[in-house]
Amino acid sequence: MIFRSLYAKLSAVLLGLFVLVGITFVLVSFYATEMYQQEVNQKLNREIAKRIVSEKIIMESERINEKALKEIFHMLMVINPSIEIYLLDPAGNILAFSAEPGKVKRKSVALEPVQAFLEGKVAFPLLGDDPRGVDKTKVFTAARIPEEGRLEGYLYVILGGEIYDSMAQKLQTSYIAKLSTWAILSSLLVALLTGLVIFACLTRRLRRLAAAMNSYTNGMLPGQLDLPVTTWENPADEIDLLVRTFKEMSARIEEQMESLRRSDTLRRELVANISHDLRTPLATLQGYIETLLMKDSSLSAEERLNYLDIGIRHCKRLSKLVSDLFELAKLDAQDTKVHCEPFSIGELVQDIVQKFRLSAKERKVAILTNIGKELPVVSADIALIERVFENLIENALRHTSEGGTVSIVLHVDRDLLTALVSDTGHGIPESALPHIFDRFYQIDSSREGRAGHSGLGLAISKRILELHGTTIRVASTLNVGTTFTFSLPVYRTNA
């Protein structure tokens, strides 16, 4: 549980790192100190063996001058008891030594370090074999016997004998060593505490962000969260970037939640509207069919035809509603594709207007067109654009009173061809303009010409134009008329 937070984990890692560094530093310090002492010792005493050889005749006619050797042993033991002297033959075998009997373990020493020392081409400290240990090495000094002439042997002086080892052991437990160790440990402890404080400061914003995210998970709104202050445009570090990302994410989630709430409201309204629009013609159709069944023998031929005509109209209304719903569902599908191709929009409008001539004549409404003679070809899905014009013209006829006019105007503005479908009908209240493209939205179903209208035509037209990458606009004045406007791209060949 204690290592669940990032701060605890960082602190544990830092503590482990400092302990490792501290131990390494202490060991390296002791090793470096020992190497330094050996280097100093070897450099200070490098000439001892040479001076002894130059002042005393140690070998005479390949024999040991025992008197001279005893004098040397005695002198050096008095002056520097930490030094041990060994007399070697030319092959490195030990002929005599100043150490106590029984403590010398080797019979010979390797001559390579001795020769390297005599040549003077090495860096100190240079270690040679310690005759008192089979696998020990120590700093030394050496000299050739004699200095000139035929080689008779070597004087091999160990500069750190048994007494030196005991003194070095004491120095390791001395006040200075203890003081150095405590100084190192104290410095590391201060650095550790400083690091912990710095980590606490650096992770404080991260802890606040984690607490805010937890509060958000528990239902708190983004505006109520205690988030760290961050630079929005240029985040200073990764924590700033996390804060900005979380703010953007929470805002996007809230937008999506609001969109879902709106969609749910629209869905409920959609279900209610569909239920209402389906129930009314179904109930009417059922009523007339039941009347025909019950009163078939008492109804005249004219009444029977009237009932059947009413039933047919309601069947058509149901068929139109279901067809519109199916078409809108297809247009809303994610895999809906628009098959664009070049075509003459002027010819398309002329063909569509011919379909509505009879209906307009029955309503005593005039349909006028102003499409010019040399309109360019546009690039769009001809079947879908035909449906847009049909919906707009049908909507205009339904809202235009007797003696009114419905007009279709086409004109070109640079790379766009703009279409305007206008009427001189009732107009749309300003408060209703933002909602007229909503599904099943109806301003006043009691108005003349509204019966049988599903309220999906404008929604379908808007969706078709959205799939073409364009929009539809509306302008209306009450009791004056309404104009719908949209644009399509002019077709341009690659040549």
Residues 83-100 have pLDDT tens digits of 788 888 888 898 888 777
- Full-prediction pTM beyond 0.85? no
Report pLDDT for 419.
93
134 or 7, which is more confident: 134
Burial (Cβ within 10 Å: 0-12, 13-18, ≥19) of residue 438 = middle
Cα 265 to the center of its chain, rounded Å: 35
Least confident of 38-52, 226-240, 245-259: 226-240
Location of structure tokens 């005509």: 309
CA distance 363 to 444: 20
Q: For residue 293, what are the CA distances in angstroms to 35, 279, 296, 308, 315? A: 121, 21, 5, 12, 18
Residue type, 41: N
Is the per-residue pLDDT at 398 higher than 70? yes
Sorting pLDDT into bands at 50, 70 and 90, what band is 58? Answer: low
Read off φ and ψ for residue 407, nearest 5 degrees. -125, 145
Planar angle of CA 462, 399, 308, nearest 5 degrees: 100
Report pLDDT for 354.
92
Report pLDDT for 445.
45
Q: Where are the beta strands (DSSP E) in 256-402?
A: 341-343, 366-370, 378-380
8 A C-beta contact, residue 282 and residue 318: yes
Report pLDDT for 409.
93
Angle between helices 162-172 and 6-44 (to 10 degrees): 150
CA distance 399 to 406: 10
Report pLDDT for 124.
83
Residue range 453-464: mean pLDDT, rounded: 80
8 A C-beta contact, residue 128 and residue 110: yes
CA distance 132 to 425: 123
> Which of 219-223, 303-307, 477-481 has the largest mean confidence?
477-481
The number of CA neighbours under 13 Å toward the Cβ of 449 is: 16
Report pLDDT for 446.
44
Q: For residue 391, what are the CA distances in angstroms to 65, 394, 396? A: 132, 5, 9
Residue type, 189: L
Report pLDDT for 236.
62
Computed over every residue of the chain, the mean pLDDT equals 79
Sorting pLDDT into bands at 50, 70 and 90, what band is 230? Answer: low
Is the per-residue pLDDT at 449 higher than 50? no
Question: Maximum CA pair distance of the chain?
Answer: 165
**Coil/strand/helix, residue 93:** strand
475 or 330, which is more confident: 475
256 or 393, which is more confident: 393
Burial (Cβ within 10 Å: 0-12, 13-18, ≥19) of residue 215 = middle
8 A C-beta contact, residue 145 and residue 157: no
Is the per-residue pLDDT at 404 higher than 60? yes
Planar angle of CA 270, 275, 276, nearest 5 degrees: 100
393 or 86, which is more confident: 393
Report the percentage of the chain scoring pLDDT > 90. 14
Sorting pLDDT into bands at 50, 70 and 90, what band is 452? Answer: very low
**Tokens in use for 124?**
């100190």
What SS3 string covers 138-203?
EEEEEEEECCCCCCCEEEEEECCCHHHHHHHHHHHCCHHHHHHHHHHHHHHHHHHHHHHHHHHHHH
Read off φ and ψ for residue 95, nearest 5 degrees. -95, -35
**Coil/strand/helix, residue 400:** coil
CA distance 491 to 485: 19
173 or 245, which is more confident: 245
Report pLDDT for 161.
58
> Which of 133-142, 157-166, 300-309 has the largest mean confidence?
133-142
Least confident of 27-41, 88-102, 136-150, 152-166: 152-166
8 A C-beta contact, residue 356 and residue 366: no
CA distance 410 to 422: 12
Read off φ and ψ for residue 485, nearest 5 degrees. -135, 135
**What residues pair up with 142 in beta bridges, in sequence order?**
156
**Tokens in use for 382?**
């001809």
Residue range 1-30: mean pLDDT, rounded: 72
Sorting pLDDT into bands at 50, 70 and 90, what band is 67? Answer: low
**Tokens in use for 463?**
């969706």
Is the per-residue pLDDT at 235 higher than 80? no
Beta-strand relationship, 378-380 and 341-343: antiparallel
Sorting pLDDT into bands at 50, 70 and 90, what band is 413? Answer: confident
